[in-house]
Chains A and B, each alone.
Chain A
Amino acid sequence: MSELKIPAGTGDHIQGDPQAPITLVEYGDYECPHCGAAYPIVKRVQKHFGKRMRFVFRNFPLVQAHPNAQSAAEAAEFAAAQGKFWEMHDAIYEHQQELSMDFLLRLGEKLGLEGRALAKALKDEAFAEKVRADFLGGVRSGVNGTPTFFINGHRHDGPFDYGDLVDGIEEASG
């Protein structure tokens, strides 16, 4: 029923072949344990479909439930501005248990981003608007929790185990 209102485009973080016939969009929260569980599953799904699929990640921080989700999303956007989005995205999900402001700053330094600049960007909420725009676009599209997946624009309802996602993608792409 629910359809992605904002197609994958230039403002997005996209992995994979831009011409791929399949587009998987995830609305995710860096502190959400279900998104943490989905992270390795998405990697496997990407490997399975190879060049046939591109993957898009959009921010959907549930700030009432997760105190670090907004900062993490903004930190990943800060990294993106320096061409390091996926490094930051992956590193946060791979160390989700350690997520804190201090962790984000250390991670930034490890990735070769300037620590003080990241701290300032977070303090000034320099990327808050971008994160909010993702969030509102998600609400409009019928995101109903995290993670929410869209396969070629259609919301994937139900479980998101490896098999479920692969089946959903096979079905949607014919």
Chain B
Amino acid sequence: MPQILAPGTKAPDFTLPVTADQKLSLSELRGQPVVLAFYPADWSPVCGDQMAFYNEILPEFQKHKAELMGISVDGVWCHAAFAEARHLHFPLLADFEPKGAVAKKYGVYRENDGITERALFVIDKNGTIAWSYCSPIAVNPGADGILQALEALPK
């Protein structure tokens, strides 16, 4: 079983689609903290949904000038429909082709299931992983760990 990348590791750069005609690279966000939230799939049940939950906490992340990005193996059209239905105000990245390539680099791909782990990374403004956490797949990890990690970043 691959190991989730640990704090102190340089966050592997990637370029992934955010919409059908738009791509985003991690390196473009250098200079500000990034919260990278891998999740198994769009369309899990409503009120306990992790992405919809983070959407509610967004102002707290923004206090730290942190950019939140969700990432799963779903394609851009699936993400678009999901984001619209849940009124999400942050980007969802499609780790779709080659499937799970970015998740593999971060050590959070579940080969047998073809989905990513429910895993969180806080990346500092220099692109180094400051905190990482892999949650049991069925448990929404909430946001307390992310906020603590953001607070612990050097100013």
Q: Do A and B come from one complex?
A: yes
Interface on A for B, CB 8 Å cutoff?
2, 29, 32-35, 62-65, 136, 139-146, 157
Number of A-B contacts defined by CB within 8 Å = 58
Label chain B's interface by main secondary structure: loop
Question: Could you say which residues of chain A place their CB within 8 Å of the CB of B47?
Answer: 29, 32-35, 62, 65, 145-146
Contact A64-B55, Cβ < 8 Å, known A2-B144, A139-B147: yes
Structural contact, B56 and A143, CB atoms closer than 8 A = no
Q: Name the contact of A140 in the complex, choosing from B48, B55, B144 (C-beta under 8 A).
A: B144
Beyond A65-B46, A139-B60, A139-B144, 8 additional pairs, beta carbon < 8 A: A29-B47, A62-B56, A64-B89, A65-B52, A65-B56, A139-B57, A142-B142, A145-B48
Interface size band for B: 20 to 34
Contact A64-B87, Cβ < 8 Å, known A32-B47, A145-B47: yes
A157 to B140 Cα, complex, angstroms: 9
A-B pairs with beta carbons under 8 Å apart, 17 shown:
A2-B142, A2-B144, A34-B47, A62-B53, A62-B56, A64-B56, A64-B87, A64-B89, A65-B47, A65-B52, A65-B87, A139-B144, A139-B147, A142-B141, A142-B142, A145-B53, A145-B140
A144 to B56 Cα, complex, angstroms: 11
A25 to chain B, nearest CB (A): 15
Q: Name the contact of A62 in the complex, choosing from B50, B52, B142, B144 (C-beta under 8 A).
A: B52
Q: Which of A32, A139, A157 has the most chain B CB atoms inside 10 A of its CB? A: A139
